[in-house]
């Protein structure tokens, strides 16, 4: 079992793995159980995540599943603003992130809505202004690996060496962000994005290799096709499989689990930490 390495992320300490609850303020996210397209639905979802022990809430207002509808900037911002209003009312001190690939949305969310972290599934590839924007804002940034766009990514799965290619790509972008003066960067291998089913499991098996980048590691596999296709079930039936993979990620030293089901992830973290402590006591 990989030893857990604490990190400082801006004003936040990741002294134990974080559970990041997903708040999809969209009508068309891939799993219908996660869609919150009214204020009442957002309030129920936020209240549930708070009760279950979320460390951070990740607000997404633009689905990146293949075939998702285009969302105008104004609509994306309006959805985020509504969700942030709910979060700040119910939990004023909650850490929040915004799931967007648009630099202008990230800037507005940070400067005007008080969002703490920018989570960019494109790793800066869909908006050339993103790296400069987050560096200027000096806000923690989640750098994910993806090729192409959500519409084309599944045709871009040819690699010379999957794990090394993904690590190298993240390394180049991490260096670029460091050169711009941003040090608070989280890396995300991008499970499900420009990877085949088999490639997703190769990444999971080799997750410890990403620690060489010396950055906090986020894993997001919640109810994704790598779970439900492998098990022959639906996204709605994929909680148990998700928990198994989240446990493997924690054992490999992951710092953040991005999940739909906060309670299950918190329980997995508790049991992995107990196991890790027992190993330490008997070593």
Cα(71)–Cα(114) distance, rounded to whole angstroms?
A: 22
User: What pLDDT shows up at residue 251?
Assistant: 98
The fourth-level CATH superfamily of domain 16-278 is: Dihydropteroate synthase-like (3.20.20.20)
Considering the candidates 183, 258, 263, 269, report the single residue annotated as catalytic.
Answer: 258
Overall average pLDDT of the 140-157 stretch? 88
Q: Is 258 a catalytic residue?
A: yes
User: What pLDDT shows up at residue 27?
Assistant: 72
E-only strand ranges, the chain: 7-9, 12-14, 18-24, 56-60, 95-99, 117-120, 141-144, 185-188, 218-219, 256-259
Query: What burial class does residue 257 get, using C-beta atoms within 10 Å of its C-beta: 0-12 exposed, 13-18 middle, 19+ buried?
Result: buried
Confidence of residue 36 (pLDDT cuts 50, 70, 90): confident
Considering the candidates 45, 224, 274, 276, report the single residue annotated as catalytic.
Answer: 224
Rounded to two decimals, the pTM is 0.95
Q: Is 65 a catalytic residue?
A: no
Confidence of residue 148 (pLDDT cuts 50, 70, 90): confident
User: What pLDDT shows up at residue 30?
Assistant: 54
Cα(67)–Cα(30) distance, rounded to whole angstroms?
A: 10
Q: Which residue has the higher pLDDT, 201 or 282?
A: 201
Average model confidence (pLDDT) across the chain: 93
């Amino acid at each position: 079992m990989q030893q857990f390495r604490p990190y400082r992320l801006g004003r936040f300490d990741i002294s134990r793995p974080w559970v990041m609850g997903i708040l999809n303020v969209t009508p068309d996210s891939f799993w219908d159980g996660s869609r919150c397209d009214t204020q009442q639905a957002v309030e129920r979802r936020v209240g549930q995540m708070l009760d279950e022990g979320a460390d951070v809430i990740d607000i997404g207002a633009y689905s990146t599943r293949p075939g998702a509808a285009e969302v105008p900037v104004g609509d994306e911002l309006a959805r985020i603003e509504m969700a942030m209003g709910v979060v700040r009312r119910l939990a004023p001190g909650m850490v929040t992130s915004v799931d967007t690939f648009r630099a202008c949305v990230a800037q507005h969310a940070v400067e005007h809505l008080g969002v703490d972290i920018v989570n960019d599934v494109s790793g800066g590839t869909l908006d050339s202004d993103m790296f400069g924007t987050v560096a200027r804002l000096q806000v923690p940034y989640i750098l994910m690996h993806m090729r192409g766009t959500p519409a084309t990514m599944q045709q871009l799965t040819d690699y010379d060496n999957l794990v090394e290619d993904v690590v190298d790509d993240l390394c180049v972008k991490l260096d670029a962000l460091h050169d711009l003066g941003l040090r608070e960067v989280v890396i995300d291998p991008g499970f499900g994005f420009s990877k085949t089913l088999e490639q997703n499991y190769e990444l999971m098996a080799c997750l410890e290799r990403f620690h060489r980048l010396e950055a906090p590691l986020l894993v997001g596999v919640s109810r994704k096709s790598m779970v439900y296709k492998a098990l022959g079930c639906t996204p709605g039936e994929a909680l148990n499989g998700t928990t198994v993979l989240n446990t493997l990620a924690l054992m490999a030293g992951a710092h953040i689990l991005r999940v739909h089901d906060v309670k299950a992830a918190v329980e997995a973290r508790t049991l992995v930490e107990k196991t890790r402590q027992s190993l330490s006591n008997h070593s």
